[in-house]
Amino acid sequence: MFWLNDATVLITGGTGSFGKKCAQFLLDHSGLRKLIIFSRDEQKHVVMRRDLFPADRYPQVRYFVGDVRDADRLRRAMKGVDYVIHAAAMKHVDMAEYNPQECIRTNIGGAENVINASLDCGVKKVIALSTDKAASPINLYGATKLCSDKLFVAANSLSGECGARFAVVRYGNVWESNGSVVPFFQSKAASGTLPITDPQMTRFIITLDEAVALVVKAFGRMEGGEVFVPKIPSARILDIAKAVAPQCDTKVVGIRPGEKVHECMLPTDEARQTLEFEDHFIIQPSFRMWSSEPPRYASYGTPCKEGFCYASDTNPEWLSVEQLRAMIGSAEVTGQASVSAKVA
């Protein structure tokens, strides 16, 4: 990752699960001049600086308290920044359904602010994190992230031929991240019963290490306007429950507002403009007004077949109960080595 040497990187939502993991990898594997952690949660900044990146060991880390809703604060934070990873979002489906205005202000308004600040400050490349729920969305969270994705793709036209480049990475449920099903099941295990929304439910599963690797790899491959979709396994919700707490009973409590039984990362309509590679897909922009040349990767990607759909219930790769159980709590032990392998 020589391109990161002496570079300045800013991570919005940098005190979250992804932000911390990404920060650790960047600090361990590149000669960054500066890493800016941008987040609105003051206490998380304090904990991160005290426990993970103390100033005496990581003098290049800066903690910038701010909200992506605040355009002026973002612009101030991005002065001199080379690369931006936009991870800040309001992401809980049920909370977004109940608080739609707040979700829109953060996920759509915040995305627009990140784009404008990046353009104003001369940022070179921006990667925005997305979600499988942005593909054929049925809930507000997914709809806001789809809108955010469209904004980032179209931002390449605003920057012109020689300006900032913007791209998106879209992936599924992050294993053991804050608010995900694994810590939720672990918190309920003592009761002897795990609540299951729908016994047929399936989800795409990605680890934090894999998510970081996807972002780093996307920075190297992007030419502007792409949506990167990794090839990752699926898991059944009942198998996750068995892996976390095999001694517990399960109780079906019904699907939550805005929730799908199965997730899709690449619907048929988007597959028409998608190229397939060994470990990922690239959804190409429907127009490339910022460049007259075809992207370099187009020559070695394979167009998806007519009618193709990449969904969690028809995915050819599945995680068994034993594999899921082995993944629980193993991220901290094997994390850095696995990220390095996936980026290479």
Measure Cα distances from 273 to 282, 287, 306 in Å. 9, 10, 10
- At 260 the pLDDT is 93
pLDDT bracket for residue 340 (50, 70, 90):
low
- At 177 the pLDDT is 81
Distance between CA 160 and CA 290 in Å, rounded? Answer: 5
Which of the two residues, 224 and 3, has the higher pLDDT score? 224
Q: Which two tokens stand for residue 199?
A: 């016994």
- At 257 the pLDDT is 82
Return the number of other C-beta atoms located less than 10 Å from residue 161's C-beta.
11
Crossing angle of helices 110-121 and 140-159, in 10° steps, is 20
- Whether 13 has a pLDDT exceeding 80, the answer reads yes
Poorest-pLDDT segment among 23-27, 206-210, 293-297: 293-297
| SS3 state of residue 192 | coil
Q: Kindly report the CATH number that applies to the domain delimited by 2-343.
A: 3.40.50.720
- Whether 329 has a pLDDT exceeding 90, the answer reads no
| SS3 state of residue 230 | strand
Distance between CA 156 and CA 288 in Å, rounded? Answer: 8
**Mean pLDDT value across residues 137-148:** 97
Distance between CA 12 and CA 83 in Å, rounded? Answer: 11
Distance between CA 81 and CA 320 in Å, rounded? Answer: 43
- At 342 the pLDDT is 62
Q: How far is CA 44 from the centre of its chain?
A: 19
| SS3 state of residue 181 | helix
- Whether 332 has a pLDDT exceeding 60, the answer reads no
Find the helix or strand (DSSP H, E) in which 274 lies: strand 274-276
Q: What percentage of the chain exceeds 90 in pLDDT?
A: 84
* pTM over cut 0.75: yes
pLDDT tens digits, residue range 49-105?
999 999 999 999 999 999 999 999 999 999 999 999 999 999 999 899 999 999 999
The residues, any chain, with a CB within 8 Å of residue 248's CB and separated by 6 or more, are 188, 189, 191, 192, 193, 194, 241
Poorest-pLDDT segment among 41-55, 171-185, 305-319: 171-185
pLDDT tens digits, residue range 202-260?
999 999 999 999 999 999 999 999 999 999 999 999 999 999 999 999 999 998 888 89
The CA angle 246-252-253, to the nearest 5 degrees, is 125
The residues, any chain, with a CB within 8 Å of residue 235's CB and separated by 6 or more, are 202, 203, 205, 318, 319, 324
Domain ranges within the chain, ordered by starting residue: 2-343
**Mean pLDDT value across residues 167-184:** 89
- Whether 190 has a pLDDT exceeding 60, the answer reads yes
**Is the CB of residue 94 less than 8 Å from the CB of residue 141?**
no
Bridge-partner residues for 58, per DSSP? none
Distance between CA 161 and CA 285 in Å, rounded? Answer: 15
Beta strands 227-230 and 165-171, pairing class: parallel
- The residues annotated with a catalytic role in the active site are 133
Measure Cα distances from 265 to 111, 131, 136, 215, 275 in Å. 20, 8, 9, 16, 14
**Is the CB of residue 276 less than 8 Å from the CB of residue 231?**
no
- At 330 the pLDDT is 63
- At 180 the pLDDT is 81
* HSE value, Cβ hemisphere, 13 Å, CA-based, for 10: 27
Mean of per-residue pLDDT scores for the chain: 92
Which of the two residues, 343 and 259, has the higher pLDDT score? 259
Which of the two residues, 325 and 333, has the higher pLDDT score? 325
- At 343 the pLDDT is 59
